[in-house]
Structure 1
Amino acid sequence: MELLHLTDPFISLAIILMVSKTFGYLFTKMNQPSAIGEIIGGMLVGVSFLNIIDIGESLYFLSELGVVLLLFLAGLETDIEEFKRVGGPAFLIAVGGVFVPFILGYFATLPFTHDTMKSLFLGGALTATSVSLTASVLMEMKKLRSKEGATILAAAVVDDVLGIVVLTVLVALNKTGHIEVERVLKLLVEIIIFFGVSIFVGMPFVQKLVKFSSKLDLPESTTAFALAIVMLFAFFAEEFKVASITGAYLAGLLLGQTDEARRINDKIVTIAYALPIPVFLVGIGIHTDIGIFYKAGLSTLALIAIYSIVAIFSKILGCGAGALAMNFKPKEALRIGIGMIPRMEVGLIMVNIARVSGVFDQNLFSIGVAMTILTTLITPSLLTWSFKMH
């Protein structure tokens, strides 16, 4: 019989699950979010330290599923009335959270790059918000249904759309040297169609499917249909150039209005936190290579520091200013800004597109990766601190 190696998905998954719950528990004992413990546990067994396991192709889908289910649960937990109430303010907050980071990112990096296109892409990467980690921390703190929690999630949906538009414009500028207005308008039409169909057609569709599933005399039929609905929304979101997590969040909002919402939530929580969410959180740590920092030269480290500081404070400034303008209290505005800091996989996608497009060399790509690492690691602690403020 062939011996199992640490590259074997079963062994890797076993280690990930044990690391997830052990480090998560240890950090809760230190009054820190379990999510940061899971990420640090992943760093210990990943490329930064022991380098004994990796998230290979066989586990990559589980990690992606963790993100999708995290946002689906956030949608289920969202108070729809509160969501409607903060929808208008969330739009202004998202606009501030996209354009302030973009402008500051461009001007802060230009003295280092001496290249307009490179600095435009560096600014563009700062527009992204990856709200999955924030959602995880807010759920853990029982703050997801708060005014700030609902606003962060609503703003993240708008941020996703605006970020895609910015990226589309930058890619077109790099390829052709000018903005293709027709392409941008087509993208906006596709996004509007997706949201329109999701809300007006999706609601009756979801209700009928849930009603049908409840009549099937089989174990967990409703849970299975709920998962199928999430996957469909995630798929169609990507087809309409919107992130899969946005589709999953919308599915959660719609299923949250059905009679089976509480039962679906309880079942999905069990499934998600037992398997895919731990893979996602530990996976962040596994892929976090802190070697970027000690291998870099002084000029690169200086750019990493400035870029990361701008990444953190530009979201607080941009989103916070929007929140203050919409009559949020200063501490509420601060919490919203902090909640929008993480770039994670969305930021990585943007810097990778810049690399593939030939705009970024390996050095600039590493700087973008370092920024996503720092914004990811700092957010849980900052978010916890902000909610403890009186």
Structure 2
Amino acid sequence: MELQSLVLALEPTNQVLGNEPIVSFAILLVVILVVPILFERLRLPGLVGLVFSGVVLGPSGWNVFQPDSPTINLLSDIGIVYLMFIAGLEVDLEQFRRQKSRSFGFASFTFFIPLAFGTLIGQIFGFSGNASLLIGSMFASYTLLAYPLINRLGIVKNQAISVTIGATIFTNIGALLVLSLCIAVHAKQFSYWGLITLFNSLIIYLIVVLVGFDWAGKEFFRRSGDDEGNQFLFVLLCIFLAAVGAQLIGVEKIVGAFLAGLAVNGVLASGPVKEKVMFVGSVLFIPIFFVHLGSLINLPAANNFSTLKLTLFIVIGLLLCKFLAAFLAKLVYRYNWQEMLMMWSLSLPQVGATLAATLVGYRAELLPIWVLNSVVSLMLVTSTVGPLITNRLAAGLASSSVEQHATTTPPYQNKEKKHSNFTIVVPIYNPQTQQYLIEMAALLARQENGKIIPLAIATAAAHMDAPQLEVSLQRSERLLSKATAQSQVLSVEAEPLLRIDDAFGQGISRAAREQKANLIVMGWGKRTGLRARLFGNVIDSVLWASHCPVAVTRLVESPRKIQRILVPVENLITPSLHPVQFAYALAQANQAQVTVLNVCDRRTSSSKIASRRSQLGLLVSKLALPNPPEVQIIAHENAAQAILQAARLYDLVVLPFIRNRTSPGGLAISDVTTQLARQLTCSIVMLGEPERNPTVALPTAVSNTTAVIGNVVI
């Protein structure tokens, strides 16, 4: 009786919680935060965990989420629109323009062959011609899930890979247009005059979005200056205006979202606003879409023999038709087998456009639930298998690129004599860390008989006579006086500079450009907390705006005491040798030892290890350094752990700083540099390259100008 009374007493509370939208949203946040981390530790994609969570929490599981809930549906709709917008935003238009003819050729292969296969499978299982065509169109597109991996390995510029990346613009647009046509036919809006009207409306719509949004975006960004908040809101407005406009002309909203991504692609470029737009979508709305998709899965229907048979046909059919498309590209464009297999693996993952089109078809009652189940299974298989195959192939492709680069003169070799205008800019903010940074600047400047410029930034107020500005100027003058005295003790010429600017990051970037700097070394900034993650910090601002390389430093001891420097080289591609050049410049000042380390897979044979050592040694020797650094190759199952173990014997580790590109759904492959920066206890220098000029030279036997940025902690 007491237990029954307790249950009856709790029933109103359960009903309230079950009907309260804030409860569902809180559960969603817990799922989004915890589940992807757990699945990634199991070496499974995070999106698999999100979909699995939807199944567990949906009607097929604990029935916590109701798929028809208005709140969940709204958030899921925003997620699907955001997903397609990011798909358009991720298209590399520059690579597409360089390889547009071949991209169109491969797109034709990888679009029409899967379209025919998918349509045939639909006919075999008794679907209508319209539904079969929609199933075929879902095969035609693909998502570049493995882009962060190939970008990190430096093989994006390989022609076969560039063609595969560029082809996505054709396959996605084609698949979305076929989807819109199928939905229109299913809604009985299809007629001769209706088709003419839809076609004319679509042409006008394309012009308005692709041309009008691009022009409006450039004008707005030019007039709004550095107001990133309003720029962010403008981009959101473009997304949803394009989605609404698409629906008004009878086209699916995801088509408009994708076109909006293409339209603002050039406006956002690789700036901080783009990072924020993608952050909001990939962290919140897109994961909610995947959870909602999982809640739609009907497990009893999935266990049906017809569903299992259809899933088998779809998975095997997709693998075969994508392979055939890549093989035709090999024959036509004369790619080797490794490049062909790379094109095949990159075009396998079916995530963005495929899932969006399937969900739209299911909601329009054009596709039954068991097709949705099969396509989700296809997504889980291809999003796991595709990146795994790419990872296996990428190492070999990177090695072949090494051999190609090793036979040519490296672009970083300095054939000129040392210049006397070697300039080091040292912005001063943190008096506790500026001593070590000025010491590092002095070590580099003395190698080139150059000078350092201590820089203090006083942030501008609304009025130039504001008391806050006066206090900031006085503090800056004191810091500059101290920095100048420190420079004189180190026997280096110093020219202090005081600058008033709107923000620290902008002032640093502008001053470095004015001083014709070609390297910026920043002190460690605070990167924890919501504000630092969402809105960035001084380091982020300088990285985005800088015209030259940026070195972010965390010095635990005086640079003059550094005797052993470790430079992990993650991939054997020439651009990754910039950290070697920087380490060598510092080592010359201290007569220190430099070790270049590369970690390969634990199962690598001894002959291949010897080959990698020879390749890396050849690349390092091409730098024409008087005393070439030591080269080491370690076979280990975990690259980060191997580097951490080796770093125990060194005073400084110089790492390449690689910003991962967020793929649709925020499914970026983790960067080894991030883990190392978090766990290394010795001094660290993270060297990053500017987005638009990745081959800027570095100091000592490399260049004539450097900027070292002070430790700015906001």
Same fold (TM over 0.5): yes
Segments of structure 2 that go 5 or more residues without pairing to the other structure are 1-11, 394-714
Correspondence for 2:168 among 149, 152, 171? 152
Per the alignment, residue 164 of structure 1 pairs with: 180
The answer to whether residue 388 in structure 2 is matched with residue 385 in structure 1 is: yes
Deviation at 1:188, TM superposition (A): 3.1
Per the alignment, residue 69 of structure 1 pairs with: 82
Per the alignment, residue 285 of structure 1 pairs with: 294
Deviation at 1:30, TM superposition (A): 2.4
Answer yes or no: is the 8 Å Cα contact 2:115–2:136 preserved in 1.
Answer: yes
Where 2:348 maps in the other structure, the secondary structure is helix
Per the alignment, residue 239 of structure 1 pairs with: 248
RMSD between aligned residues? 3.6
Per the alignment, residue 320 of structure 1 pairs with: 326
TM-score, reference length from structure 2: 0.45
Where 1:51 maps in the other structure, the secondary structure is coil
The answer to whether residue 33 in structure 2 is matched with residue 17 in structure 1 is: no
Answer yes or no: is the 8 Å Cα contact 1:129–1:347 preserved in 2.
Answer: no
Deviations 1:257-301 (A, max 9, x none): 23685121222233223421221122222222222123x3x4x24
Deviation at 1:71, TM superposition (A): 3.3
Per the alignment, residue 211 of structure 2 pairs with: 200
Question: Cα distance 1:285–1:83, how it changes in 2: closer, same or farther (>3 A)?
Answer: same
Per the alignment, residue 91 of structure 2 pairs with: 78
Question: Cα distance 1:108–1:159, how it changes in 2: closer, same or farther (>3 A)?
Answer: closer
Deviation at 1:105, TM superposition (A): 4.0
Deviation at 1:20, TM superposition (A): 1.8
Answer yes or no: is the 8 Å Cα contact 2:224–2:231 preserved in 1.
Answer: yes
Deviation at 1:346, TM superposition (A): 0.9
The answer to whether residue 346 in structure 2 is matched with residue 344 in structure 1 is: no
Deviation at 1:367, TM superposition (A): 3.3
The answer to whether residue 132 in structure 2 is matched with residue 100 in structure 1 is: no
Higher strand share: 2
Which whole-Å CA distance do the structure 2 matches of 1:311 and 1:240 have between them? Answer: 34
Answer yes or no: is the 8 Å Cα contact 2:139–2:318 preserved in 1.
Answer: no
The answer to whether residue 261 in structure 2 is matched with residue 252 in structure 1 is: yes
Question: Cα distance 1:220–1:186, how it changes in 2: closer, same or farther (>3 A)?
Answer: same
Correspondence for 1:122 among 111, 114, 132? 132
Deviation at 1:156, TM superposition (A): 1.0
Question: Cα distance 1:9–1:313, how it changes in 2: closer, same or farther (>3 A)?
Answer: same
Deviations 1:111-161 (A, max 9, x none): 553xxx6255234323126969x35x4466575976334433442122222
Correspondence for 1:265 among 264, 274, 288? 274
Deviation at 1:382, TM superposition (A): 1.9
Answer yes or no: is the 8 Å Cα contact 2:28–2:288 preserved in 1.
Answer: yes
The answer to whether residue 62 in structure 2 is matched with residue 46 in structure 1 is: no
Answer yes or no: is the 8 Å Cα contact 1:93–1:318 preserved in 2.
Answer: no
Deviation at 1:75, TM superposition (A): 3.6
Compare relative contact order (CA 8 Å, sep 6+) and give the higher one, 1 or 2.
1
Per the alignment, residue 655 of structure 2 pairs with: none
Per the alignment, residue 275 of structure 1 pairs with: 284
Per the alignment, residue 304 of structure 1 pairs with: 310
Whichever residue aligns with residue 386 of structure 1, its letter is: I
Per the alignment, residue 487 of structure 2 pairs with: none
Deviations 1:178-204 (A, max 9, x none): x84444344333333322332333321
Which whole-Å CA distance do the structure 1 matches of 2:350 and 2:321 have between them? Answer: 6
Answer yes or no: is the 8 Å Cα contact 1:152–1:339 preserved in 2.
Answer: no
Q: For 1:185-224, list aligned pairs within 5 A.
A: 185-214=196-225, 220-224=229-233
Where 1:52 maps in the other structure, the secondary structure is coil
Which whole-Å CA distance do the structure 2 matches of 1:24 and 1:130 have between them? Answer: 28
Residue range with higher mean Cα deviation, 276-285 or 73-82: 73-82
Where 1:339 maps in the other structure, the secondary structure is coil
Answer yes or no: is the 8 Å Cα contact 1:101–1:123 preserved in 2.
Answer: no
Question: Alignment identity in percent?
Answer: 18
Where 2:379 maps in the other structure, the secondary structure is helix
Per the alignment, residue 44 of structure 2 pairs with: 32
Which whole-Å CA distance do the structure 1 matches of 2:25 and 2:209 have between them? Answer: 35
Whichever residue aligns with residue 382 of structure 1, its letter is: V
Deviations 1:191-231 (A, max 9, x none): 33322332333321121223344476xx8222112211222
Residue range with higher mean Cα deviation, 301-310 or 51-60: 301-310
Where 1:253 maps in the other structure, the secondary structure is helix
Which whole-Å CA distance do the structure 2 matches of 1:283 and 1:108 have between them? Answer: 27
Deviation at 1:338, TM superposition (A): 0.7
Question: Cα distance 1:346–1:259, how it changes in 2: closer, same or farther (>3 A)?
Answer: closer
Which whole-Å CA distance do the structure 1 matches of 2:139 and 2:115 have between them? Answer: 12
Deviation at 1:238, TM superposition (A): 3.1
Per the alignment, residue 366 of structure 1 pairs with: 369
Where 1:389 maps in the other structure, the secondary structure is helix
Answer yes or no: is the 8 Å Cα contact 2:122–2:131 preserved in 1.
Answer: no
Correspondence for 1:331 among 318, 321, 341? 341
Answer yes or no: is the 8 Å Cα contact 2:79–2:288 preserved in 1.
Answer: yes
Which whole-Å CA distance do the structure 2 matches of 1:12 and 1:303 have between them? Answer: 35
Residue range with higher mean Cα deviation, 282-291 or 138-147: 138-147
Answer yes or no: is the 8 Å Cα contact 1:125–1:350 preserved in 2.
Answer: no
Which whole-Å CA distance do the structure 2 matches of 1:279 and 1:302 have between them? Answer: 27
Where 2:289 maps in the other structure, the secondary structure is helix
Segments of structure 1 that go 5 or more residues without pairing to the other structure are none
Answer yes or no: is the 8 Å Cα contact 2:36–2:46 preserved in 1.
Answer: yes
Task: Return structure 1 stretches of 4+ with deviation > 6 angstroms.
Answer: none
Which whole-Å CA distance do the structure 1 matches of 2:76 and 2:241 have between them? Answer: 18
Answer yes or no: is the 8 Å Cα contact 2:307–2:371 preserved in 1.
Answer: no
Whichever residue aligns with residue 332 of structure 1, its letter is: M
Which whole-Å CA distance do the structure 1 matches of 2:178 and 2:333 have between them? Answer: 20
Number of residue pairs aligned between Structure 1 and Structure 2: 367
Which whole-Å CA distance do the structure 2 matches of 1:27 and 1:149 have between them? Answer: 27
